[in-house]
Amino acid sequence: MVGLSLKNRIYLVNAILLGITIIGAVSMVWYTYKTEKIFKDILDKDLIVYQSAEALATSLINQKGFVSYYLLDKNPVWLDELHTYRGYFAQSLIKVKSLATDTVEIQTIAQIEERYADYLQLKDKVINFYKSREYDQGSVLHTEARKYFPGILELCEALKTFHKDKIASAIQASQKESNRLRYMALMAIIIVIVLSLLINYIFARHILAPIRKIAAQADKMGGPGLSSNELINLEHSVHGLIEDAEHTQQVLKKSQEVLLQSEKMALLGKLAAGTAHSIRNPLTSVKMRLFSLSKTCQFTNDQQEDFNVISGEIKQINKIVENFLEFSRPPKLQTIKMSPSTVVDSALYLLEQRLKSYQVTTRLIRKASLSETLIDPEQLKEVLVNIIINACESIQKDGLIIITEEENFIKPLNRVAVIRIMDNGPGISREIQSQIFNPFFTTKEEGTGLGLSIAFNIINEHGGWLDVNSSESEGTSFIITLPIKDA
């Protein structure tokens, strides 16, 4: 570089930086597609087969007991229920067979199908004996049929384990690829740092030094000040570049956080939906049975109390399942032009009695209502309610929640509305602050860990940011930043 002109040296270093940036970007895109393919393979086959195998085991377990119930009261409804779950088993078996490609899978499924056919044949004979009142013969054959059940269930579990191991292997492969990308990024950072230092040296030696000499000479010569104005303009330009770099870094950091959160949501959303549907089917059956019992049975006081506890716990399970389903469905905004201040007032009015029950005082600091923008008032209210209730539950005594509203200018969102919700609770330790927006992460004994994840998604769908600022023993602040859009 000794024989090159200053312009060519700068061009050369910039070209190298541009080349590294392009190579890094292409590598990241390539690794992204590679990782996406790994997870697509998991979701397209292994996860579906795993869920189908789980449904297979569930429908098999649900078949237990119906023949015995029929023997007790001769109610044909039990046999109808048995045929229903047999149908579920058959459907799951067909789905698993259609997706099986591995030799071990095919052999396991064939064994399940063969043993299940023998099991059904014996069970049907038992039912026929019971229907014809040949109870002794039916009982003997019933005992023999029960011996088939553990073996079939064990094969179903083996099929689940097989695909669980494949999913784990795929995730491990993805982690290896991620580690490689990290090493490449680290090397690129080191090279960029070295080249940046070189650029700084060139600028300091060949640009800034001459400018300083010119400025000093102009001062000595008592010039008209034109050079001073140029230096001020240059200084302002440099400051502008620095601010742009800081804003770009913030935007990049936000984009990375949103991307990571979206990837987690996509995978866990499908898992949550599958799990919720698998739970909801037997749960619906249990709820129907409990409703039937409540209408037909006369309970003692103790039995009624037990029955009420069971019903309450089932409602709690159903609420968790609904949260899972809500989490699995990304928020669809119904936006209207409205001031976020109106939503804040609505949320506080809605929570008025609940805040009194928690003995929490609220203080709203507002110079003027926030400007109107496109928002979904119901979903934004859900975010505010969730954050305020979390604050109430974390505050020990003498609770105070301060809500402040202001408008600001933040790149690249430009004009924004900022809502801060601050409490005087125990705060959140730094170790878990980075995890609170992760799905299923909770510090509550009865929490699902989905509230803040859903709130994060809603604000993200609005094109804004949801941040947390907290330290132990000094309270917590949640900051909602929303872009002010005209249309």
Give the tens place of pLDDT for each residue, 310-330. 877 777 777 667 666 665 565
Tell me: pLDDT of 55 over 60: yes
Tell me: pLDDT of 93 over 70: yes
Question: Do 204 and 353 belong to one domain?
Answer: no
Question: Do 212 and 347 belong to one domain?
Answer: no
Q: Is 362 part of a structural domain of the chain?
A: yes
Q: In the listed set 198, 223, 248, which residue is the last one of a domain according to the structure?
A: 223
Query: Residue 374: which pLDDT band, with cuts at 50, 70 and 90?
Result: very high
Instruction: Quick: pLDDT tens for 271-302.
Output: 555 566 566 667 776 777 777 777 777 778 88
Tell me: pLDDT of 345 over 90: yes
Strand partners, 337: 374
The dihedral over CA atoms of 427, 428, 433, 436, expressed in degrees to the nearest 10, equals: -100
Tell me, what's the pLDDT at 153?
85
Q: Is 71 part of a structural domain of the chain?
A: yes
For 219-228, 240-249, 409-418, 440-449, which range has the lowest pLDDT when averaged over its residues?
A: 219-228
Tell me: pLDDT of 208 over 80: no
Percent of the chain with pLDDT over 70: 71
- For the chain, give the number of residues: 487
Q: Is 164 part of a structural domain of the chain?
A: yes
For 94-98, 123-127, 192-196, 280-284, which range has the lowest pLDDT when averaged over its residues?
A: 280-284
Q: What is the mean pLDDT of residues 438-460?
A: 73
Tell me, what's the pLDDT at 310?
83
Task: Report which listed range, 35-44, 360-369, 406-415, is most confident.
Answer: 360-369
Q: Is 303 part of a structural domain of the chain?
A: no
How far apart are alpha carbons 196 and 23 in whole angstroms? Answer: 17
Q: Please, is 179 exposed, middle or buried when counting C-beta atoms within 10 Å of its C-beta (0-12, 13-18, 19+)?
A: exposed
Residue with more model confidence, 203 or 304: 304
Tell me: pLDDT of 235 over 60: no
The dihedral over CA atoms of 215, 217, 219, 223, expressed in degrees to the nearest 10, equals: -100
Which DSSP state fits 65? T
Tell me: pLDDT of 3 over 50: yes
Tell me: pLDDT of 413 over 50: yes
Q: What is the mean pLDDT of residues 368-394?
A: 90
Query: Residue 212: which pLDDT band, with cuts at 50, 70 and 90?
Result: low
Which DSSP state fits 331? P
Contacts of 7 (CB under 8 A, 6+ apart): none
Residue with more model confidence, 119 or 446: 119
For 62-71, 289-298, 333-342, 349-358, which range has the lowest pLDDT when averaged over its residues?
A: 289-298
Q: Is 406 part of a structural domain of the chain?
A: yes
Range 430-433 contact pairs with CB under 8 angstroms and sequence separation of 24 or more = 430/471, 433/468, 433/470
Q: Is 327 part of a structural domain of the chain?
A: no
Structural domain boundaries, residue 365: 336-483
Tell me: pLDDT of 473 over 60: yes
Tell me: pLDDT of 122 over 90: no
Question: What CATH number should be reported for the domain holding residue 433?
Answer: 3.30.565.10
Asked whether the beta carbons of 475 and 425 are under 8 A apart, the reply is: yes
Percent of the chain with pLDDT over 90: 12
Question: Do 75 and 198 belong to one domain?
Answer: yes
Q: What is the mean pLDDT of residues 419-427?
A: 90
Mean pLDDT estimate for the chain:
77
Measuring CA to CA, how many Å separate 393 from each of 119, 442, 470, 478? Answer: 53, 13, 16, 15
Tell me: pLDDT of 360 over 80: yes
Q: In the listed set 208, 223, 238, which residue is the last one of a domain according to the structure?
A: 223
The total domain count for the chain is 2
For 55-59, 110-114, 219-223, which range has the lowest pLDDT when averaged over its residues?
A: 219-223
Q: What is the mean pLDDT of residues 412-416?
A: 82
Q: What is the mean pLDDT of residues 466-482?
A: 87
Tell me: pLDDT of 348 over 80: yes
Q: Is 241 part of a structural domain of the chain?
A: no
Three-class SS of the chain: CCCCCHHHHHHHHHHHHHHHHHHHHHHHHHHHHHHHHHHHHHHHHHHHHHHHHHHHHHHHHCCCCHHHHHHHHCCHHHHHHHHHHHHHHHHHHHHHHHHCCCHHHHHHHHHHHHHHHHHHHHHHHHHHHHHCCCHHHHHHHHHHHHCHHHHHHHHHHHHHHHHHHHHHHHHHHHHHHHHHHHHHHHHHHHHHHHHHHHHHHHHHHHHHHHHHHHHHHHHHHCCCCHHHHHHHHHHHHHHHHHHHHHHHHHHHHHHHHHHHHHHHHHHHHHHHHHHHHHHHHHHHHHHHHHHHHHHHCCCCHHHHHHHHHHHHHHHHHHHHHHHHHHHHCCCCCCCEEECHHHHHHHHHHHCHHHHHHCCEEEEEECCCCCCCEEECHHHHHHHHHHHHHHHHHHCCCCEEEEEEEEEEEECCCEEEEEEEEEECCCCCCHHHHCCCCCCCCCCCCCCCCCHHHHHHHHHHHCCCEEEEEECCCCCEEEEEEEECCCC
Q: What is the mean pLDDT of residues 83-92?
A: 86
Question: Do 219 and 340 belong to one domain?
Answer: no
Query: Residue 220: which pLDDT band, with cuts at 50, 70 and 90?
Result: very low
C-alpha 424: how far from chain center: 28
Q: What is the mean pLDDT of residues 383-389?
A: 91
Q: In the listed set 223, 258, 275, which residue is the last one of a domain according to the structure?
A: 223
Tell me, what's the pLDDT at 481?
93
Instruction: Quick: pLDDT tens for 178-192.
Output: 777 777 778 878 887
Q: Is 290 part of a structural domain of the chain?
A: no
Question: Do 208 and 85 belong to one domain?
Answer: yes
Tell me, what's the pLDDT at 225?
44
Measuring CA to CA, how many Å separate 203 from each of 211, 227, 256? Answer: 10, 19, 32
Tell me: pLDDT of 83 over 70: yes
Tell me, what's the pLDDT at 222?
44
Tell me: pLDDT of 135 over 50: yes
